[in-house]
A = this chain, B = another copy of it.
Amino acid sequence: MRELDRQLKLATGLYARGEAPIDLVLGVASRAISILHERAEPERWAECDGKDYWVFRADGRISRPYLPTLFEASELVFRRFWGFLIDSADPDARRFHLDVVDINRVLYSAIGSFAICYDLWKSKSRKTPGTFFEVLLGSVLKLVLPRHQRAGHVTLPGQVENVSTDIVFQRQGVKGGLVVPAKITTRERVVQPFAHQRILDSVFGENVFKSTLVCMSEMQRDDDRGAANAICVPGTIRLFQMHLARLSGIYYLDPPARYLLPDVTQVIRVATLGDLLAADLHALTET
């Protein structure tokens, strides 16, 4: 874990200076996968929405639930698919050419293994998995948006305050850009990306900036009932999308079944992160 921390700090430091430390991100993720392989025991936990969720156990602790069908437990195989992903980056088409399923699997394994390591051995550092998710996503996106500038906020003309979103890609000389709030899970913070989009609409005009919320999943372990639950707020998302501001989409690595029902998808695009990276990104960004 100390080596994991060291590599994460290196990656975070370079990322904060505007770089895309994709090899360090790979290093962190493969290390997390190999730590789990060596020191933790996978075990079936519970079913939710027809999917079987598992947990890792180690040293008397239990991890968050994860989906083994999306999780690559072998470091070697993970590294191969990571390579396929990187090699499939097409900056001219602003997309990756790898299969959607494989993109989701490699990114879910990367962030999932890291978050699970923190559940088991560093459960007090609750925010760190979110930081790694942001560095991972910002670095991967940069591979297909090399001519865009990445920042962590949008500067507002004539305002002291910035809009602090997690990831923003903008092209020099082009008004607007793509805002990518990245969250492991949303919980009550789902209001933030909608509120930020509304502010950007108000300051720059509607639809000049576009927001896509990217999340890992909404799964939570329920120890009282031995269950795995997806904590969903479909009515809230409908309400925000219709009356607060329009997001361009919500992209999950493991989308909650509830958000794929028509009452939600009629008002907002809900898909996987693989769909964003293999298809939607092109139309959401400028040349």
Contacts and interface: CB of A to CB of B under 8 A. Distances in A.
A81 to B, nearest CB: 36
Contacts of A240: 195, 199
A161 B191 CA distance: 14
B192 A243 contact: no
A242 B160 CA distance: 12
Interface in A122-167: 156, 159-161, 163
Given A191-B192, A191-B195, A202 B244 contact: yes
A235 B191 contact: no
Contacts of A235: 159-161
A53 interface: no
Per assembly, the copies of the chain total 2
A36 to B, nearest CB: 32
B199 A243 contact: yes
Interface residues on A, range: 20 to 34
A238 interface: yes
B192 A244 contact: no
A198 interface: yes
A287 to B, nearest CB: 29
Given A191-B192, A198-B244, 13 more contacts: A159-B235, A160-B238, A161-B236, A163-B239, A191-B191, A194-B195, A195-B195, A199-B239, A199-B240, A202-B242, A202-B243, A202-B244, A203-B243
Interface of A: 156, 159-161, 163, 188-189, 191-192, 194-195, 198-199, 202-203, 235-236, 238-240, 242-244
